[in-house]
C-alpha cells in the first residue's frame, strides 16, 4: 500500500511538473498573440467612468480640443470659439506637433485664452490620436466635476454661441432619447449618419428645428457626462479597427441602447474635402 501511494504521488508530481512546464512554454511562445487579442477585446468592454457621478455644478461645461501639426487652423478655431463662447473653459491636447503649434498653445495658456494644456510626445501616442487625446482630456477634467463636455476638432469655424442653447436642447430632447448634440453638418455627415426624423424644439424667444440621427460625427459635439458614466472612455489600443474612432465607438453604443443624436449647427468644418478621415468614414458609414 505504501509503495502504491508513493508511486501515485510520484506520477502526480511528474504530471504537474510536465504540464506546468508545457503551459509555461506555450504562454511564452504565444504571449504576444494572446496579449494582443485580449487587448483588442478589452478595449471594447464598457466600463462606466464612475468618477463623473460626483456632485457637480449642473451647467459647468468644459471643452476639449485635440490637435497635431495644424498651427494656423488651430489658431483660427480657438479665435472663433472665443468670439462666440468667451467664457467656455478649454483644454487642448497637442499630440506632439512640430510646426510651432505647441509653442503657440503655450502662449495662449499664459495669456488665459485656453485654461489647460497637455503636450504629448508624438512617438508615444497610439494610432488613434484623437481617441487617445479625448480620453486623456476627459480623465484630467474629471477633477473639475463638469456636467457637460464639448469636444471639437482643430479645423472648425465656430459661427454662433452654443453652450446654453445646447444644454437646453439636450434637456428638451430627452423624450427623443437624445444623448449627443452634433454641431456640424454637411453632405458627408448626412451620408454617414442619415437623418431619421426632424423635430422642432422651443427655445427662449424662438424655435429650433433639429435633425435626429442614430449615429453622429465627432468633429464638434456637446453631451452630458452621463454618456461617460454609462459608456466610459473611448478605446485607444493599437490594432483596433474603426471601433477606435471615438465617434463610431459611442455611435455604436447609442445604437445598441436605442439612443439618438441630434444636429444643432454651430460651426463650419474647414478640413480638406478629400481627407483620409472622410474616406474612412465613407467606408464605415456606407
pLDDT digits (tens, 9 = 90+) for 125-166: 765 678 888 888 999 998 899 999 999 999 999 999 999 999
* Whether 258 contacts 145, CB under 8 Å: no
**Count of other CB atoms within 10 angstroms of residue 221:** 24
Residues 6+ away with beta carbon under 8 Å from 184: 156, 217, 219, 220, 265, 266, 267, 268, 269
CATH 3.90.550.10 for domain 50-285, yes or no, is yes
Low-confidence ranges of the chain (pLDDT < 70): 1, 3-49, 55-56, 126-128, 237-244, 271-286
Q: How far is CA 38 from the centre of its chain?
A: 21
| 18-22, Cβ contacts within 8 angstroms, sequence gap of 24 or more | none
- Provide CB contacts within 8 A for 120, sequence distance 6+: 93, 94, 95, 96, 132, 133, 136
| pLDDT tens, residue by residue, 76-90 | 999 999 999 999 999
How far apart CA 154 and CA 171 sit, in angstroms, is: 28
Amino acid at each position: 500500500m505504501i509503495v502504491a501511494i508513493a508511486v501515485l504521488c510520484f506520477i502526480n508530481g511528474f504530471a504537474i511538473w510536465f504540464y506546468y512546464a508545457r503551459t509555461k512554454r506555450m504562454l511564452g511562445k504565444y504571449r504576444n498573440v494572446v496579449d494582443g487579442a485580449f487587448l483588442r477585446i478589452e478595449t471594447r468592454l464598457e466600463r462606466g467612468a464612475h468618477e463623473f457621478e460626483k456632485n457637480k455644478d449642473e451647467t459647468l461645461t468644459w471643452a476639449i480640443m485635440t490637435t497635431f501639426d495644424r498651427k494656423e487652423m488651430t489658431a483660427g478655431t480657438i479665435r472663433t470659439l472665443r468670439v462666440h463662447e468667451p467664457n467656455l473653459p478649454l483644454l487642448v491636447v497637442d499630440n506632439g506637433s512640430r510646426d510651432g503649434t505647441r509653442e503657440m498653445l503655450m502662449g495662449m495658456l499664459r495669456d488665459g485664452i485656453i485654461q489647460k494644456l497637455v503636450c504629448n510626445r508624438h512617438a508615444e501616442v497610439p494610432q488613434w490620436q484623437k481617441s487617445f487625446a479625448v480620453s486623456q482630456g476627459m480623465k484630467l477634467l474629471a477633477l473639475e466635476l463638469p456636467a457637460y463636455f464639448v469636444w471639437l476638432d482643430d479645423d472648425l469655424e465656430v459661427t454662433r454661441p452654443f453652450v446654453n442653447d445646447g444644454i437646453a436642447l439636450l434637456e428638451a430632447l430627452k423624450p427623443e432619447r437624445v444623448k449627443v448634440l452634433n454641431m456640424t453638418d454637411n453632405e458627408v455627415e448626412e451620408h454617414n449618419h442619415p437623418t431619421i426624423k426632424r423635430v422642432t424644439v422651443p427655445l427662449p424667444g424662438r424655435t429650433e428645428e433639429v435633425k435626429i440621427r442614430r449615429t453622429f460625427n465627432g468633429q464638434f459635439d456637446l453631451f452630458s457626462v452621463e454618456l461617460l458614466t454609462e459608456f466610459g472612455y473611448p478605446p485607444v489600443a493599437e490594432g483596433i479597427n474603426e471601433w477606435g474612432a471615438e465617434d463610431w465607438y459611442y455611435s455604436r453604443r447609442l445604437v445598441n441602447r436605442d439612443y439618438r443624436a441630434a444636429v444643432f449647427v454651430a460651426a463650419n468644418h474647414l478640413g480638406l474635402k478629400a481627407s483620409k478621415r472622410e474616406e474612412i468614414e465613407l467606408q464605415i458609414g456606407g
